[in-house]
Structure 1
Amino acid sequence: MLRNLNTGTANPDTADADLLARFQESGAADDLLPLYERHAELIYALGIRYLGTPERAEDAGMEIWAVLMEKLPKHEIKNFRSWLQTTVRNHCLMQLRREKRDPLRNNDAELMQSDRLLHLSTESNHQTNNDTRPLYHCLKQLKEEQARCVRMFYLQEGESYQSIAEKLDLSVGKVRSHLQNGRRNLKTCLEGREKSTE
């Protein structure tokens, strides 16, 4: 669902608060969609960070849709993005707890790989499962603006579409496009390298 969203539905000039108020008043899924689409990349990034794989992140994204449908009409929310980050994080941590995994102490290779994907750790690590060299290689294959947007959104805490757009002198729509294309190209590159080593 997160991969296939057309994130151009909401007018970029419409504030989150206005989209939220519209949905809270109607309770209609069609009114939630623009708000969800606007923050789909954030939901996906947090899902990757906590759950470790694209597939699990997308599953969490679909579950978050249901959570928003249920919770948003019942809560007074002043900062939607901040509230959403907390909600997605708590959802992922609850899932990990159900699986009896402690994300703060767990050394599972899959979770460690996710952490390196999000933070590009520069620590030397030569274990096969934790090797970040394929990620570095594939990031270098991206077009310059795609790579910069991917690094700023996924690898730097707190960067939003708007802040990236301002720093790179791009439109919000262009930033969103670079993120979608960059993520897709990274996935294709990484999968190709994995197949070539099989």
Structure 2
Amino acid sequence: MITQKTQLRRDLRQRRTAISKIQRQAAAWAVTHYPQILQKLRRGKKIALYVPVGSEFSAWPLIFLALQRGCLVYLPVVPKVGRRLNFVRLNEGAVWSYGAFNIPTPSHSEQCSSRDLDSVFVPLLGFDLQLARLGQGGGYYDTTFAFRRLRKTWLKPALIGLAYSCQQVERLPCEAWDLKLDAIATEQGWIRRSPIN
């Protein structure tokens, strides 16, 4: 399964890299108009997004929109030790520096527990219609939101993938610890597995 995932990651990175800059920008702005996303971005809601790196789906338009709509926006910080992400507030008080993997990261005195977030928008390399997610392979999101696998009804926070439609595959190889998403937004529309609060 590890070899299969490695090959899939290679293929999906190539697909994602082949998307033109204009298509990337259009896709990133398209999802800001989806009613399902606008419903999540309400004043006072705790929303986690991410700083896109390389060919990842750009979350910047959603970051700007969430801030404009009065959401409390948090960004993940990769820890120096372990795999549990920290979520740091993004506002005018944030100070930027480069963190792990050379990812621009804010530092701020205000943080939010992963359990207290309302919605989390996550990057990914691949997905299928069962909403399995293939990430970069570090296991950070899988570890951080492992508590979601133990719940039967209450699924806060909502986990929403941001992806290009070309990242969809027929079926991802999954292991017990792999994260399942509640929904995925692509430039072609909204895909959901089950109703999310």
Q: Highest relative contact order (Cα 8 Å, sep 6+), 1 or 2?
A: 2
- Structure whose residues are more often helix by fraction: 1
- Structure whose residues are more often strand by fraction: 2
TM range (shorter): under 0.3
TM-score under structure 2 length normalisation: 0.26
